[in-house]
């Protein structure tokens, strides 16, 4: 039985051949039915070259077992390596879709599609590289796109562990397996090879990044970056030529896409991105910044990653802790705006305060490569600030410095530290010379990142104190933080950042009901408008404006524009990410909300708020098991967070576990959320009396602040008239909860009612 000509109906053990799929250098591929597991699979029958040499076969099977350990949604699963009647074959997940080679068009793909594909392939490479697996044969034909749009990378048959010794003869034979098909047209692997592969040198993960750049170039420009009539011509072009810029091939592409692809195609591995994670982060930054198909300002590159830990207060006065925390906080905010850095969000970094973690623990928890830590000793008008930058992988100290300065010189100290960190990271990870002309570029970036912070030393001290109070989020502390910001602005009225922070504090007061809604929202809006008048490119100002537009103005398009602008200015801004995800959910764009909230969790992995927002998006998508998991993780991080126990109760109820739901509802600490959950759970359990009692108490105590939640209860109880009555009250009260009406499944009962469309239209949410 020839492995090259299996016919329909042929049996290989428990597998029946159903149809041929294709062929490659490794052998023929067929669709087959697995009678044992009653499923269809793909079978790849290995070519004779892979089976005739025992040593070669043993090595191949060892590598195949290693590849079978990869388990990722963007990687085709390799099930087994088998033999029947002398035929060696692989069994794999059957993908219903088409290869990327079928998607190459003369005009190139839309930017949104390029980003989706690029992120999917990069995610697959991240998973493989983390297991030490290098693909070595990445090309459009080895990437499938399923009917629902998911990217699947296949054919890791040429992959190897980075640590294994390389067999150059075998590898070159595999690489050159596909010849020229016709004059002037080259097929196979050669056009996607990196220079080190062409030269027969050792390969590593960066080799796959060169291939990824080649694939993205071809999909974007409709042509390959390196061409020639023969394999030798193409190889020469790969080694020698700089491809035509995509900005020339396709001028409508964003500048950042051209830059990312160009970086992947660098001749020397050290000049490329160093990990697939870096490429994925870059592409995701573009995606969440909403670049569309137009030219935009460059977004941060995600080359290096860093966490800034809260600085240790070594002053005699414990009250000076606001100063040490504030200094670290300001450095974090500045670094988050620097191109080329991915900075862990403040919420996650500051969870390590007072815990004395190891650098490795911080790096693993926050998924960063470096950590900045320091201490502050404040005495009178002077401070000694000691800082060090440490590499997570080996604990090596990359840089350290101690500053003895007067407090009125604190701005210069912050700039010195930030500049040193940026230059050290770029020198270490990118091979840039810290004393080269790039240093001037760093200074310019730092100046832009520090825009809007003010220059008055006493006002700066008051702002640091204000943040210390605002972080506590009690009514009294927020009021004290507002007073400190007002005092700071009296001394430094052009401090744009202080105006933005004041607007955020005013918005918090109004949203939670500590002050009258209309008056509080007006104060918040005026403060943020003033911030943006002083500094139009203040990311914090745009993020706060998005919140006002969501919770107070119900200006969804405005909120979308504000959050997008904030992310363009500071892609690592956790607040802007949450706002962008919230807008997508409000507008009913569930997939986009999921994508953004997942990025938010990656950026802020120790934040209960990030998991809460992810849980809401998963709930909207009715992915209840994942929503439950997100909620439980949020509760692990913040056991006392208001509403999380009630949300968990709802998810458990929807999953058919009412007794567990009731137990979680009763543990909810916030009275309003507890009554809401109990009214819904008791009703679902067939206990109308207990449900009525909880609902009566909810209405009696929270009619002025919880009309939207009361409407949800009535909808859950199958009472549409009462639900619409309370929604009308919520609308009249400008209840912030109304923003979530379209993105939640809680009102599905009302969707067929004519009143539903009218209400959505009044909210500006009609389709």
Q: Which residues are part of the catalytic machinery?
A: 137
Instruction: Mark out the alpha helices in 241-305 (DSSP H runs).
Output: 246-249, 255-264, 276-288
Task: Provide, for the chain, the percentages of residues in helix, strand and coil under a 3-state DSSP scheme, each rounded to the nearest 5.
Answer: 55, 15, 30
For residues 273 and 545, the answer to whether their CB atoms sit within 8 Å is no
Rounded Cα gap, residues 355 and 658, in angstroms = 38
CB-CB contact of 97 with 144 (8 Å): yes
Check: CB of residue 560 under 8 Å from CB of residue 745: no
What is the CA 679 to chain-centroid distance, rounded? Answer: 36
Cβ neighbours of residue 377 closer than 8 Å, sequence gap 6 or more: 314, 315, 383, 384
DSSP for 67-134, written as a single string: HHT---TTBPPEEEEEEETTEEEEEEPPP-EEEGGGT--TT---HHHHHHHHHHHHHHHHHHHHTTEE
* Contacts by 531-537, CB closer than 8 A, 24 or more apart: 531/452, 531/496, 531/497, 531/499, 531/500, 531/503, 532/496, 532/500, 534/452, 534/494, 534/495, 534/496, 534/499, 535/451, 535/452, 535/496, 535/497, 537/448, 537/451, 537/569
**Number of residues assigned to the chain:** 767
Residue 59 buriedness (CB in 10 A; 0-12 / 13-18 / 19+): middle
* First-residue to last-residue Cα distance in the chain: 60
Pairing assessment for the beta strands 370-379 and 382-391 based on DSSP bridges? antiparallel
Full strand arrangement of the beta sheet holding 143-146: 97-99, 143-146, 151-153
Nearest to 597 by CA among 624, 622, 627, 640: 627
Task: Considering only CA atoms, give the Rg of the chain.
Answer: 29
């Amino acid at each position: 039985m020839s492995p090259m000509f299996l016919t329909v109906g042929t049996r290989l053990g428990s597998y029946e051949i159903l149809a041929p799929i294709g062929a490659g250098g490794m052998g023929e591929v067929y669709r087959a039915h697995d009678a044992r597991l009653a499923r269809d699979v793909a079978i790849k029958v290995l070519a004779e070259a892979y089976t005739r040499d025992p040593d070669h076969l043993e090595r191949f099977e060892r590598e195949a077992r290693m590849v079978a350990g990869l388990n990722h949604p963007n990687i085709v699963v390799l099930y087994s390596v088998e033999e029947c009647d002398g035929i060696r074959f692989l069994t794999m997940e059957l993908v219903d879709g088409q290869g990327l080679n079928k998607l190459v068009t003369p005009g190139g793909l839309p930017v949104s599609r390029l980003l989706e594909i690029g992120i999917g392939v990069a995610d697959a490479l991240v998973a493989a590289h983390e297991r030490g697996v290098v693909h070595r044969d990445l090309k459009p034909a080895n990437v499938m796109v399923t009917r629902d749009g998911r990217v699947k990378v296949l054919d890791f048959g040429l992959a190897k562990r980075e640590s294994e010794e390389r067999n150059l003869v075998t590898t070159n034979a595999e690489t050159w397996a596909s010849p020229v098909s016709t004059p002037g047209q080259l097929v196979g692997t050669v056009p996607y090879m990196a220079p080190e592969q062409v030269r027969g040198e050792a390969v590593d993960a960066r080799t796959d990044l060169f291939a990824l750049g080649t694939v993205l170039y071809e999909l974007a420009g409709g042509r390959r970056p390196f061409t020639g009539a023969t394999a030798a011509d193409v190889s020469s072009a790969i080694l020698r030529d700089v491809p035509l810029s995509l900005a020339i091939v396709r001028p409508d592409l964003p500048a950042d896409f051209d830059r990312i692809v160009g970086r992947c195609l660098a001749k020397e591995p050290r000049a490329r991105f160093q990990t697939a994670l870096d490429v994925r982060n870059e592409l995701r930054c573009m995606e969440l910044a909403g670049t569309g198909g137009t030219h935009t300002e460059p977004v941060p590159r995600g080359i290096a990653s860093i966490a800034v830990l809260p600085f240790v207060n070594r002053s005699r006065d414990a009250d000076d802790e606001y100063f040490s925390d504030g200094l670290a906080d300001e450095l974090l905010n500045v670094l988050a705006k620097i191109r080329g850095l991915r900075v862990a969000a403040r919420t996650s970094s500051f969870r390590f305060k007072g815990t004395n973690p190891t650098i490795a623990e911080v790096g693993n928890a926050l998924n960063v490569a470096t950590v900045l830590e320091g201490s502050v000793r404040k005495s009178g008008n002077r401070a000694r600030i000691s800082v060090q930058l440490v590499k997570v992988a080996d604990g090596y100290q990359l840089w350290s410095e101690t500053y003895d300065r007067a407090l009125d010189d604190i701005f210069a100290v912050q700039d010195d530290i930030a500049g040193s960190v940026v230059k050290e990271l770029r020198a270490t990870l990118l091979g840039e010379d810290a004393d080269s002309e790039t240093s001037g570029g760093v200074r310019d970036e730092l100046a832009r990142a520090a825009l809007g912070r003010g220059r008055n030393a006493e006002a700066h001290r008051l702002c640091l104190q204000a943040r210390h109070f605002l972080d506590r989020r009690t009514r009294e502390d927020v009021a004290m933080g507002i007073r400190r910001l007002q005092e700071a602005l009296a001394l430094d009225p052009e401090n744009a950042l202080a105006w933005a922070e004041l607007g955020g504090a005013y918005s918090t007061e109004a949203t939670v009901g500590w002050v009258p809604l209309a008056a509080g929202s007006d104060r918040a809006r005026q403060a943020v408008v003033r911030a943006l008048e002083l500094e139009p490119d203040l990311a914090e100002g745009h993020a706060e404006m998005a919140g006002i537009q969501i919770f107070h103005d119900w200006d969804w398009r405005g909120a979308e524009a504000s959050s997008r602008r904030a992310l363009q200015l500071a892609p690592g801004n956790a607040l802007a990410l949450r706002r962008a995800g919230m807008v997508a959910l409000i507008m009913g764009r569930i997939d986009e909300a999921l994508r953004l909230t997942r990025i938010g969790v990656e950026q802020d992995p120790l934040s209960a708020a990030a998991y809460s927002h992810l849980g809401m998006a998963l709930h909207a998508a009715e992915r209840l098991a994942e929503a439950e998991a997100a909620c439980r993780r949020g509760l692990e991080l913040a056991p006392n967070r208001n509403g999380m126990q009630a949300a968990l109760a709802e998810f458990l109820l929807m999953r058919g576990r009412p007794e567990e739901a009731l137990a979680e509802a009763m543990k909810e600490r916030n009275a309003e959320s507890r009554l809401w959950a109990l009214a819904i759970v008791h009703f679902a359990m067939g206990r109308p009396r207990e449900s009525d009692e909880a609902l009566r108490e909810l209405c009696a105590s929270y009619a002025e602040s919880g009309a939207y939640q009361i409407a949800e209860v009535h909808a859950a109880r199958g009472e549409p008239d009462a639900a619409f009555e309370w929604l009308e009250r919520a609308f009249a009260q400008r209840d912030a909860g109304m923003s979530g009406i379209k993105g939640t499944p809680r009102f599905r009962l009302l969707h067929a009612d004519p009143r539903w469309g009218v209400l959505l239209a009044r909210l500006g949410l009609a389709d």
